[in-house]
Amino acid sequence: KKAEKDSNTEQAKVKKALQQKNVEVARVYAENAIRKKNEGLNWLRMASRVDAVASKQTAVTMKGVTKNMAQVTKALGKALSSMDLQKVSAVMDKFDQQVQNLDVHTSVMEDSMSSAM
């Protein structure tokens, strides 16, 4: 946004210089305006790339969490079928740990995505 504002300021300077018949100064201001506009576009592209990387990382993380939860669910089913309380307790503890890990990953991804914008 700052680059866009600077570009607009430079464009106004171009108009003013042209009205004063100062073509060389207007050319310099025009170059500055173009540079600032390109700078703004580059920042926008960079933000888009960071967002894409964050989305890919979120997808990879969610895939891993889903796999772990499937394993925990399977282990919980086995423990419940044998009705071994120690196994059930261990699996439930592992499940709680996985949920906490998911919360941490989600928080980190949200923070990184918000700071990228």
pLDDT in tens, the chain (117 residues): 788 888 889 889 999 998 998 889 999 989 989 998 899 899 889 888 888 888 888 888 888 888 888 888 888 788 777 777 787 788 888 888 888 888 888 888 777 767 765
| C-beta neighbour count of 79 within 10 angstroms | 18
Tokens of 40: 């703004």
| Whether the Cβ atoms of residue 51 and residue 63 lie closer than 8 Å to each other | no
Say what the pTM is. 0.54
- Return d(Cα 14, Cα 26) in angstroms, integer: 5
